[in-house]
Amino acid sequence: MVKRKRTALEKQTNLPSLQNQIRRDPPSYRDDFLIQFRHYESQRDIFLAQPEGYDSDPFIEQLGFITHVADCFPDVTKRFPQDLADLLLNHHNTLEPDLREKLVQCLVQLRNKDVIPSTALLQTLFPILTTTNSKHLRAQLYHSIVSDIRNANAKTKNHRLNKTVQGVLFSVVEAGKGSPDAVVGLWAVKVTRELWRRNIWDDARTVEIIKEASLSANAKVMSGGVRFFLGVDKEREEMDESSDDEDYNDSLSKLKHQAGVSGKTKKKQTQMERAVDKLKKKERNKHKASVLNFSALHLLHDPQGFAENLYSMHLAKSNNKLSMEQKLLVLQLVSRLIGLHKLTVIGIYSYLLKYLTPRQREVTRFLVAAAQATHDQVPPDLLEPIIRKIADEFVSEGVAGEVATAGLNSIREICARQPLAMNESLLQDLTTYKGSKDKGVMMAARSLIGLYREVAPDMLKRKDRGKTATMDMKNKEKLRFGEEAPGTIEGLDLLEKWYEEQKQKKVEEGGEEAAAEEDEDQGWEGWDVESDSDDSGSWIGVSDDERDIEISDSEDEKLSAKNKKAKAGNKDEMDVDQKDGEESTPATSDPSKLMSLATTRILTPADLAAIAKMRAAADLQKASSKSITALRNEDEVDESIIEGPKTRGKSDKEARLAAVQEGREGREKYSSKRGKALAEKPHSTTNKEKARKKNFLMTLGQAKKKQKRSLIEHRRILKAHVEKQKKGK
C-alpha cells in the first residue's frame, strides 16, 4: 500500500526512469507500461503511413524501452517481436540505418531475454542477410547470427537448434545450386565456415552443407566451399593454439595485487572471480581428453561421388567460366580427396597431362595435384603417361636447374605413392642426374635413387643400389599391383622390443616372481571400475588366487631364474620361448610373428600409452633421418617439396648489398669497447685525441731527434719502456 502511494506521487517524465521503475516492480507500473505500449503502436502506425522521411529518434527510444521491459508483461507484448520482425522484413531496404540497426538489436535482445526462441530470430535475420543491399546491415546481421548460435551452444551443444539451422542453410544452398547467379549460398557458406572454425559445428551435416555449396554452379559459392575443405582445418588448429596462448596468469596476479592494494569494490570482486573461473576452466580443459576432431574431409559421405561430381562439373567441362585460380582450387581438392580416400577418378590424369609443361602458370601446383592424386590403387598405365610427360618436358639438358628439380621431385613424389608407375629404363635415365652440377637437381636425383633402393632396388643400375639394398635384394619380392601388406598395429614391434628389454632387466636383477603380472595389473589401474570399487573379491582377485595356487604347485621343484622368466611370460604369451630364440632377427621382418603379441593378449591402456610414447620417440628419429617411404596419404603434398631448395642466383650489386645490409640488421657495430664506453659519457680529451690533433710542426723536432738517437740512447729508452710496462701491471 505504502509503495503504491509513493509511486503515485512520482512523475513519469522520461523513459529510462520509467524503465528502471518497471524493472523493480512490474505490477505497480502496468498502467504506465500500457500507455507506453499504445504509444509505441501509434508511433509504428505513423511510421507505416510514411516510411520515408520519418523522424525516427523517438521511435527508436520507444523501441528500446519496450524491448527492455517486454519480459515483464508477456501478455501485452505477445505480438511485439512479430511486429519488429515484420517491420524489418518488409522495410529493410527503405528504413533509416539507425532504426534498422535498432530493430536488429531489439530482436537480439529479445532473444537474450528468452522472449523469442533462437529459431525465430534466425528465421527473421537470415532472409534479410541474403537480400539486403546494405553492407553495414549485413555485417551486423552476420555477427548477430553467429553470436546467437555460439551462445546457444555455449554450455552444451544445442542439437535441435543446430539441426534446424543447418537444415535452413542446406536448403538455401541447395536452392541456389543450379543457377550461376545465385549468391545466396555464399552467406550460408560463410556462416557455416565461421561456426566450424569456432568448433561449434563439427558434424557430418555441416560438411554436407559445404559439399552442396562446392557443387554449386556459382563460382563464388563454389570456391567458398572448396576453400573450406582445403583450409579450414588449418584455421581451426591455429584458432585453438591462439586461444591457448592467452595467458590469464598475468592478469590474475595483477588483479590479485590490485585487490590487495585499492579498495574492495564489487566490480573488482567479480572481475577476480571471473578470472579465477577462466583459469579453472583452462586447467580442466588441459586435462580433458581432446574433443574428436575429424577433419571435414573424413566426415564426407560418399567421397567418390563427390570427387566425380566436382571433376565433371568444374574441370571436365570445357565451357565453364572458372578462373585459373578457381580451377586450381577444385583440382587441389579433388586430388586430395583421391589421395585421402584412395578413390578412382580416371579422367583427372588425362586432364592433368594437358597442364604439365614448364611454361604453364602455377605449374608447381599442378605437379602437387598430380602427386596428391596418386595412391597405390591407381593403375600404373594411367600414371605412366604423366611421368613420361614430366620427364620429357622438365628433365632434360636444355632446361633450367629449377625446372629439372621440380620435375624430378614430382616424379619422386608420384613414385613414392605408386612405385610401379616407373619403368626401368626411364629410372636409369633419370638417375644419371645425380652428377648434375645444380645442387637441387642432384639432390632430387639422389632422393629418387634412395626411394627405389627401398622399394625396388633391382630396377636401379647396379652401382646405384648400394650395399644394404643389394644385400636385401634376395629377400625382396617383386612389386605387384594391388598387393596389400597385412595390417598391423603401428608401434607393436616397439612394444614387444620393450617387453623383451624389461624381461631381460628383471632376469638380471633376479626380480620377483610375478613381476610381469604386477606390471599388467598396474596397467589397468584406474581403468577397471570393478576392481577399484570391489575389493572384497572380484574376478580379478580370483585369478590372482589361481596364480598363487599354481605357484604353490610348482614350489617343490627349485625354479631357476630362467624358468621364472618363462613362467612370467606364460601368462602373457604362449610362445614366448620360441620368440626368445629368434630375438636376434629384426622384429619387422615377419608380420605374422609381429601380430602374435596382439593376438595373445589384450593391450592395456598403459601398453597403449607406452606405444604412443615409443612411437613419438621413433618418429623423432625418423624425422631426423627423413625416410621417404614414411608416407601418409592424409597429408597434403607441400609445394616446397616439389620446388626443391632455393638457391640464390647472381644478382646486381644493389641486391647483393641489400642482402648484406639485411644480415647486419640488429647486430652491434664492430668497434672497440673503449671507444663505445667513451662515446656514452661526456669526457675530457684523451691522450690519443690530443696526439692526433697536435700541430705538425710541433712534432717535427721530436721526429728529427728520434732519428739522431745513438744506439745506447735507444737501448735505454726501450729498457725504460719495458720497466714502465711492468710497473703498470
Closest CA to 189 of 230, 240, 227, 133: 227
- Does residue 13 interact with other proteins by CB under 8 A? yes
- Does residue 18 interact with other proteins by CB under 8 A? yes
Taking CB under 8 A as the criterion, the residue among 44, 268, 497, 547 binding other proteins is 44
Taking CB under 8 A as the criterion, the residue among 1, 9, 602, 691 binding other proteins is 9
State CA 177 to chain mean position distance. 30
Q: Which is nearer to other proteins, 102 or 211 (CB)?
A: 102
488: left (phi over 0), alpha (psi -120 to 50) or beta: beta
Closest CA to 272 of 285, 263, 259: 259
Residue 237 CA to residue 418 CA, distance in Å, equals 31
Detail the DSSP E strand segments found in 10-138: none
540: left (phi over 0), alpha (psi -120 to 50) or beta: alpha
**Residue 399 three-state SS:** coil
To other proteins, the closest distance from the beta carbon of 34 in angstroms equals: 5
Report yes or no: 183 and 220 within 8 Å, Cβ to Cβ.
Answer: yes
Which residues in the 231-290 window bind other proteins by CB under 8 A? none
Residue 16 CA to residue 2 CA, distance in Å, equals 23
Taking CB under 8 A as the criterion, the residue among 71, 91, 127, 580 binding other proteins is 91
To other proteins, the closest distance from the beta carbon of 66 in angstroms equals: 12
Stretch that binds other proteins, among 1-9, 299-307, 367-375, 417-425 (CB under 8 A): 1-9
To other proteins, the closest distance from the beta carbon of 12 in angstroms equals: 6
Number of helices followed by number of strands (H, E) in the chain: 39, 0
Taking CB under 8 A as the criterion, the residue among 3, 25, 34, 505 binding other proteins is 34
Stretch that binds other proteins, among 23-31, 233-241, 332-340, 450-458 (CB under 8 A): 23-31
To other proteins, the closest distance from the beta carbon of 288 in angstroms equals: 49
Stretch that binds other proteins, among 27-35, 402-410, 608-616, 642-650 (CB under 8 A): 27-35
- Does residue 11 interact with other proteins by CB under 8 A? yes
- Does residue 73 interact with other proteins by CB under 8 A? no
- Does residue 42 interact with other proteins by CB under 8 A? yes
Report yes or no: 84 and 107 within 8 Å, Cβ to Cβ.
Answer: yes
- Does residue 49 interact with other proteins by CB under 8 A? yes
Geometric angle at alpha carbon 172, from 169 and 177, rounded to 5°: 125
The H or E element containing residue 20 is: helix 15-24
To other proteins, the closest distance from the beta carbon of 164 in angstroms equals: 24
Residue 48 CA to residue 711 CA, distance in Å, equals 119
Q: Phi/psi of residue 322, each to 5°? A: -75, 145
To other proteins, the closest distance from the beta carbon of 690 in angstroms equals: 8
- Does residue 679 interact with other proteins by CB under 8 A? no
Sign of CA dihedral 36, 38, 44, 47: negative
Q: Which is nearer to other proteins, 90 or 253 (CB)?
A: 90
Q: Which is nearer to other proteins, 34 or 717 (CB)?
A: 34
**Cell output for 564:** 621364472
Closest CA to 424 of 478, 350, 482, 475: 478
- Does residue 90 interact with other proteins by CB under 8 A? yes
The single-letter code of the amino acid at 556 is D
To other proteins, the closest distance from the beta carbon of 679 in angstroms equals: 15
Stretch that binds other proteins, among 46-54, 337-345, 372-380, 578-586 (CB under 8 A): 46-54
To other proteins, the closest distance from the beta carbon of 82 in angstroms equals: 9
Residue 27 CA to residue 7 CA, distance in Å, equals 12
Q: Which is nearer to other proteins, 79 or 676 (CB)?
A: 79
State CA 291 to chain mean position distance. 14
Which DSSP letter does residue 491 get? T
- Does residue 7 interact with other proteins by CB under 8 A? yes
To other proteins, the closest distance from the beta carbon of 92 in angstroms equals: 11
- Does residue 192 interact with other proteins by CB under 8 A? no
To other proteins, the closest distance from the beta carbon of 171 in angstroms equals: 24
**CA-based max dimension of the chain:** 127
Stretch that binds other proteins, among 2-10, 473-481, 539-547, 559-567 (CB under 8 A): 2-10
- Does residue 685 interact with other proteins by CB under 8 A? yes
Q: Phi/psi of residue 193, each to 5°? A: -60, -45
Taking CB under 8 A as the criterion, the residue among 2, 31, 263, 711 binding other proteins is 31
Report yes or no: 124 and 89 within 8 Å, Cβ to Cβ.
Answer: yes
The single-letter code of the amino acid at 471 is M
Stretch that binds other proteins, among 14-22, 217-225, 343-351, 589-597 (CB under 8 A): 14-22
CB atoms within 10 A of CB 633: 16
Taking CB under 8 A as the criterion, the residue among 3, 23, 35, 143 binding other proteins is 35
Q: Which is nearer to other proteins, 6 or 705 (CB)?
A: 6
To other proteins, the closest distance from the beta carbon of 80 in angstroms equals: 12
Stretch that binds other proteins, among 4-12, 399-407, 619-627, 646-654 (CB under 8 A): 4-12
To other proteins, the closest distance from the beta carbon of 124 in angstroms equals: 12
- Does residue 46 interact with other proteins by CB under 8 A? yes
342: left (phi over 0), alpha (psi -120 to 50) or beta: left
- Does residue 157 interact with other proteins by CB under 8 A? no
Report yes or no: 416 and 618 within 8 Å, Cβ to Cβ.
Answer: no
Stretch that binds other proteins, among 36-44, 108-116, 530-538, 566-574 (CB under 8 A): 36-44
Number of residues that bind other proteins (CB under 8 A): 38
Report yes or no: 430 and 405 within 8 Å, Cβ to Cβ.
Answer: no
- Does residue 660 interact with other proteins by CB under 8 A? no
Q: Which is nearer to other proteins, 34 or 612 (CB)?
A: 34
Residue 50 CA to residue 35 CA, distance in Å, equals 23
Closest CA to 350 of 377, 376, 385: 385
Residue 594 CA to residue 488 CA, distance in Å, equals 8
To other proteins, the closest distance from the beta carbon of 110 in angstroms equals: 17
To other proteins, the closest distance from the beta carbon of 207 in angstroms equals: 37
Sign of CA dihedral 410, 412, 418, 423: positive
Q: Phi/psi of residue 486, each to 5°? A: -60, 140
CB atoms within 10 A of CB 309: 15
**Cell output for 677:** 664506453
Closest CA to 63 of 76, 80, 46, 50: 80
Q: Which is nearer to other proteins, 13 or 710 (CB)?
A: 13
Stretch that binds other proteins, among 6-14, 246-254, 464-472, 483-491 (CB under 8 A): 6-14
Q: Which is nearer to other proteins, 51 or 358 (CB)?
A: 51
Stretch that binds other proteins, among 84-92, 111-119, 318-326, 553-561 (CB under 8 A): 84-92
- Does residue 3 interact with other proteins by CB under 8 A? no
Stretch that binds other proteins, among 30-38, 171-179, 320-328, 534-542 (CB under 8 A): 30-38
Closest CA to 348 of 391, 389, 307: 307
**Residue 156 three-state SS:** coil
- Does residue 83 interact with other proteins by CB under 8 A? yes
Write the interaction track for other proteins spanning residues 125-144; mark x where CB under 8 A is met and - where it is not: --------------------
**Residue 78 three-state SS:** coil
To other proteins, the closest distance from the beta carbon of 15 in angstroms equals: 6
Give me the residues that bind other proteins (CB under 8 A), please. 4, 7-15, 18, 29-32, 34-36, 38-39, 41-46, 48-49, 55, 79, 83, 86-87, 89-91, 685, 693
